């Protein structure tokens, strides 16, 4: 009962935030975003929020589906990719996590954290050769 009330409260809070954002006029230039960086789409943000609610309900399958939908609307988002990788790992889908990590690294080859994450995945699978390769890349970048 307590979780049900908490989830209703969170949903109302998120809806109020969306209503506030929708009623606020957008400025022509946003100073806190770096050049070339775009805001995530409404659809991406919406599905990400639904994913977070699914996580709060301990529904990893639902969260993964929502994060995948969010990523389809914002395929360049490094944050969504790393969050989805984390969910794959938590659900035990290591191959999916490795595949998405490799894809992410083809787009962002200088991301040290992504190399560390992929190295850790390989290490946990006892694929020492690939794990060492990822850790060597981290050392080279450092």
Q: How many whole angstroms separate alpha carbon 120 and alpha carbon 131?
A: 7
pLDDT beyond 50 at 32:
no
Look at residue 30 in the predicted model and tell me its pLDDT: 41
The pLDDT of residue 108 is 87
Average pLDDT, the chain: 81
Structure-model confidence comparison of residues 8 and 114, the more confident one: 114
106-128 mean pLDDT: 90
Q: Specify the pTM.
A: 0.65
What number is the average pLDDT over the span 67-91?
Answer: 90
Tell me how crowded residue 74 is: count the other CB atoms within 10 A of its CB. 19
Give, in order, the Cα–Cα distances in Å from 21 to each of 16, 42, 45, 52.
9, 10, 12, 19
């Amino acid at each position: 009962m307590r979780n049900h009330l908490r989830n209703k409260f969170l949903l109302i809070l998120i809806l109020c935030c969306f209503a506030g954002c929708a009623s606020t006029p957008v400025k022509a230039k946003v100073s806190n975003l770096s050049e070339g960086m775009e805001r995530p789409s409404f659809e991406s943000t919406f599905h990400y929020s639904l994913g977070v609610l699914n996580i709060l309900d301990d529904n990893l399958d639902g969260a993964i589906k929502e994060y995948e939908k969010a990523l389809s609307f914002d395929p360049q988002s490094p944050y969504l990719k790393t969050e989805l990788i984390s969910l794959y790992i938590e659900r035990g889908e290591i191959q999916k996590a490795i595949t998405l990590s490799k894809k992410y690294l083809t787009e962002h080859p200088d991301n040290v954290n992504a190399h560390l994450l992929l190295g850790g995945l390989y290490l946990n699978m006892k694929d020492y050769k690939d794990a060492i390769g990822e850790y060597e890349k981290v050392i080279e970048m450092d």
